[in-house]
Amino acid sequence: MTTLPSCDNLPTHTLTVDQAQTRILEAIQPLIHTETIPLKQGLGRVLAAAIIAPFNVPPHRNSAMDGYALNSQALPTGLQQFRVIGRSLAGHPFQGTVQAGECVRIMTGAVVPQGADTVLMQEEVQRSADHITYQGEIKANKNIRHPGEDLAQGAEVLSEGRVLNAADLGLIASLGIAQLTVWRRPKVAIISTGDELVPVGQPLGEGQIHDSNRYTLLGLLQRLAVEVIDLGIVPDDPIQLEQAFQRATEQADVLITTGGVSVGDADYVTQLLERLGQVNFWKIAMKPGKPLTFGQLGQCAFFGLPGNPVSTMVTFLIFVRPALMRLAHYPDAMPITYKAKTLTTLKKAPGRQDYQRGICHQDEHGQWWVKSTGFQDSHVLRSMSVANCLMVLAREWGDIEQGTEIPIMPFAPLF
């Protein structure tokens, strides 16, 4: 691998990816509002209050097996006989007390009757009409689940900040809790900017293209605990842009625009933000996605992403997603990277951190390998569709030789 140290001197107004991420996360504070939702809607939501067990789970002593409940006290070893005096089924407990020489037929999950302290598995006994016989030593506490064994009354079952998964939903249901107090989801408005953009379902005129960024963003956002406000396409017109920005700030916590943040003649987004809000920075030493505007517009955090479809996706994953996760009280906001060896040589110029599209796989020895998807231009959205990871190539690196170990960022948890 060739490495040039000279690129440590960044041009003025240019930030490294790390610096930009840090500044964004410093400027973003988790939302302070909570809401109450039905348990059924809890998947992926973040608890704003701990879940405390209101009672023991399981609430009663119950059998872990189908078998016979009896009292093990003072029984001799060897062949023994017990009279079957009744049944205890799940949901239908036996009402009496088991005396010496007696037993109760019991099913999994059923209450262990009074007087019994152990359960013999049905496979271990011989049943005849109203008796069972058993050969061997009978020990107390076999095949019995005790109250509070899963969760003890008063215990903190899930703490504040927990991102609820399927197991958690079941756990909460086992406590009989129907409503959850969770952090409100960030409201995220999205706008595509560009005179050339046409919505899907309408024919293209000369020089026009379909707006694809809104669909990638919708997909990316739907994987997060956020509420999306789709404000559609806005042309490169300062007045219409200002009106759209106004609509966004009235309802959203975050506004994401794509396009119009370069220094082209029709790039009004940054200019407008300078006038209406506060611009934090707009050049990052990364590829793709060099121009990026981050700022504040009223109560809205503002992200102006570059319009090239790959740049939009990469800058969203690297900067916007961690910020949204922080707003939403998610822990560990940064995308996870793993190490993989390259199967191909990778072309790269020192100076910017590259996020090249790769296809990775794990071999039978557990080693991860990655190869390039080929052509890496930032307008080639197909490269993101073909890829299953980004290869994260450090700013100072030059060309990367085959077999080098590099960080990769798998798409699977991201979108």
Binding site for ligand AMP (CB under 6 A): 192, 194, 196-197, 209, 211-213, 258-262, 264, 306-309, 379
Q: Which is nearer to ligand AMP, 14 or 192 (CB)?
A: 192
Shortest separation between residue 200's beta carbon and ligand AMP, angstroms: 11
d(CA 144, CA 222): 45
Choosing among Mg ion, ligand AMP, none, which partner's interface includes residue 309 (Cβ < 5 to 8 Å by kind)? ligand AMP
Compute CA 303 distance to the chain's CA centroid, rounded to the nearest angstrom.
22
d(CA 20, CA 26): 10
Find all residues with CB under 8 Å of 281, minimum gap 6, and list them. Answer: 13, 15, 20, 23, 292, 293, 294
Q: Give the count of beta carbons closer than 10 Å to the beta carbon of residue 106.
A: 31
CB-closest chain residue to ligand AMP: 307
Q: Which is nearer to Mg ion, 190 or 391 (CB)?
A: 190
Contact 164, 185 (CB under 8 A): no
Choosing among Mg ion, ligand AMP, none, which partner's interface includes residue 308 (Cβ < 5 to 8 Å by kind)? ligand AMP
What's the CA angle centered on 165, arms 385 and 160, to 5 degrees? Answer: 120
Q: Which is nearer to ligand AMP, 262 or 344 (CB)?
A: 262
Shortest separation between residue 222's beta carbon and ligand AMP, angstroms: 17
Q: Which is nearer to ligand AMP, 188 or 261 (CB)?
A: 261
Shortest separation between residue 278's beta carbon and Mg ion, angstroms: 23
Instruction: Give the pair of three-digit tokens for residue 57.
Output: 């789970």
d(CA 378, CA 12): 24
Shortest separation between residue 291's beta carbon and Mg ion, angstroms: 11
Shortest separation between residue 271's beta carbon and ligand AMP, angstroms: 13
Q: Which is nearer to ligand AMP, 259 or 295 (CB)?
A: 259
Shortest separation between residue 325's beta carbon and ligand AMP, angstroms: 24
Q: Which is nearer to ligand AMP, 236 or 354 (CB)?
A: 236
Footprint of Mg ion on this chain (CB under 5 A)?
Answer: 194, 259-260, 307
Place of tokens 């689940």: 145
DSSP per residue over 173-198, as a string? HHTT--EEEEEPPPEEEEEEE-TTEE
Q: Which is nearer to ligand AMP, 42 or 260 (CB)?
A: 260
Shortest separation between residue 209's beta carbon and ligand AMP, angstroms: 6
Residue 203, CA distances (Å) to 18, 236, 330 in order: 42, 20, 41
Shortest separation between residue 410's beta carbon and ligand AMP, angstroms: 25
29 CB burial (10 A radius; 0-12, 13-18, 19+): exposed
Q: Which is nearer to ligand AMP, 160 or 196 (CB)?
A: 196
Find all residues with CB under 8 Å of 385, minimum gap 6, and list them. Answer: none
Choosing among ligand AMP, Mg ion, none, which partner's interface includes residue 324 (Cβ < 5 to 8 Å by kind)? none
Choosing among ligand AMP, Mg ion, none, which partner's interface includes residue 62 (Cβ < 5 to 8 Å by kind)? none
d(CA 342, CA 385): 20
Residue 314, CA distances (Å) to 4, 12, 321, 411 in order: 25, 23, 10, 11
Q: How far apart are the first and last CA of the chain?
A: 31
